[in-house]
C-alpha cells in the first residue's frame, strides 16, 4: 500500500494522541455511561442551536462501515414541530416529549450511497454496489444509522446535555409526516435538554460480562 502525505499526517496525529491519552478518566466515563441516566423530566431551560451544532461536530467522527454516514437528524424545538410529532407518540411519551427542549428524530437515509464519491473516495465503486442492491443498502443504512444514534447520545452527554431515548412511537406515521417522498426512514426518538434530577428513579440492573460475553 502506498501512503501519501495525508495518510502519513493522519498516522502522526494518531501516534501523538495515543502517547498523550491512554484512555478516558473515571469522571468522563461516569458522565458518558456508567453513572449517566435516561431522563423523563426536563427543566425549563432552552438548548442553544450552537450547542446542537457542537454535538453534531463530535457525533460525525464516529465510525461507520465504508464511512457510509447514513444518519439524518431532525431536531424539533418549536411547539409547531412538536405538534406534528405528537400524533405518532404513544400516550405515555407525550407529556415528556412536549416538555423536552429538543426532540431529535434519529433517522437514516437509504440512499446514503449517493455520497460515496465524497465520503469514500478511494473506492467509489461501493456507490454502484449499493445502488444495485437496495435491500443491502437499507440494512446498511439501518445498522450504521443506529450506531450513529448511539454516538449522538454520547456526544450530547459530552457537551453537558441529558438524553431520553424512546422507541414508543409509530415509525410509519413519523415517516409519513416528516419524510414523505424521500429515502429517509425514522429509527428512534431522543429527547434532549437539561434533565430534572428530582424525577430520576433508581437504576435498573444490567447484565454481567459472563451473561453477555464469550471469549473463545
pLDDT, residue 1, reads 57
Domain 40-199 adopts which CATH fold? NADH Oxidase (3.40.109)
Cell numbers given for 201: 428513579
Average pLDDT, stretch 64-74? Answer: 97
Nearest to 39 by CA among 167, 198, 206, 204: 198
Reduced DSSP (H G I as helix, E B as strand, rest coil) percent helix, strand, coil of the chain, to 5: 50, 15, 30
Average pLDDT, stretch 113-142? Answer: 93
Q: What distance in Å separates the CA atoms of residue 149 and residue 153, rounded to the nearest whole number?
A: 7
- Of 4-8, 81-85, 87-91, 142-146, the range with the lowest mean pLDDT is 4-8
pLDDT in tens, 96-114: 999 999 999 999 999 999 9
Average pLDDT, the chain: 95
SS (H, E, C) 104-139: EEEEEECCHHHHHHHHCCCCCHHHHHHHCCHHHHHH
- Contact (Cβ atoms closer than 8 angstroms) between residue 65 and residue 140: yes
Q: Where are the domains of the chain?
A: 40-199
Average pLDDT, stretch 196-204? Answer: 94
Res. 125: pLDDT tops 90: no
pLDDT, residue 156, reads 98
pLDDT in tens, 71-89: 999 999 999 999 999 999 9
Helix (H, G, I), strand (E, B) or coil at 6: helix
* Burial of residue 100, with CB atoms counted within 10 A of its CB: 0-12 exposed, 13-18 middle, 19 or more buried: buried
Cell numbers given for 156: 450530547
Q: Is the dihedral of CA 158, 105, 144, 50 positive or negative?
A: negative
pLDDT, residue 131, reads 92
Provide the pLDDT confidence category of residue 5 given band limits of 50, 70 and 90: confident
pLDDT, residue 6, reads 85
pTM of the model: 0.94
For the beta sheet containing 184-193, the strands, ordered from the edge strand earlier in sequence to the opposite edge, are 71-76, 102-109, 184-193, 162-166
Where b means 16+ CB within 10 Å and e means fewer, 187-196 reads bbbbbbbbbb
pLDDT, residue 4, reads 79
Amino acid at each position: 500500500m502506498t501512503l501519501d502525505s495525508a495518510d502519513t499526517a493522519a498516522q502522526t496525529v494518531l501516534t501523538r494522541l495515543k502517547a498523550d491519552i491512554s484512555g478516558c478518566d473515571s469522571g468522563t466515563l461516569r458522565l458518558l455511561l456508567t453513572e449517566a441516566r435516561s431522563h423523563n423530566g426536563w427543566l425549563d431551560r432552552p438548548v442553544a442551536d450552537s450547542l446542537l451544532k457542537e454535538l453534531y461536530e463530535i457525533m460525525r467522527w464516529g465510525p461507520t462501515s465504508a464511512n457510509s454516514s447514513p444518519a439524518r437528524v431532525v431536531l424539533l424545538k418549536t411547539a409547531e414541530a412538536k405538534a406534528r410529532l405528537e400524533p405518532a407518540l404513544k400516550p405515555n411519551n407525550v407529556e415528556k416529549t412536549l416538555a423536552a427542549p429538543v426532540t431529535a428524530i434519529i433517522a437514516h437515509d437509504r440512499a446514503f450511497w449517493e455520497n460515496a464519491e465524497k465520503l469514500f473516495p478511494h473506492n467509489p465503486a461501493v456507490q454502484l454496489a449499493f445502488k444495485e442492491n437496495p435491500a443491502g443498502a437499507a440494512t446498511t443504512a439501518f445498522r450504521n444509522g443506529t450506531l450513529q444514534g448511539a454516538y449522538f447520545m454520547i456526544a450530547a452527554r459530552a457537551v453537558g446535555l441529558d438524553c431520553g431515548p424512546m422507541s414508543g412511537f409509530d415509525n410509519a406515521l413519523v415517516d409519513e409526516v416528516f419524510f414523505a417522498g424521500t429515502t429517509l426512514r425514522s429509527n428512534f426518538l431522543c429527547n434532549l435538554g437539561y434533565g430534572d434530577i428530582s424525577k430520576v428513579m433508581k437504576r435498573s440492573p444490567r447484565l454481567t460480562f459472563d451473561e453477555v460475553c464469550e471469549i473463545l
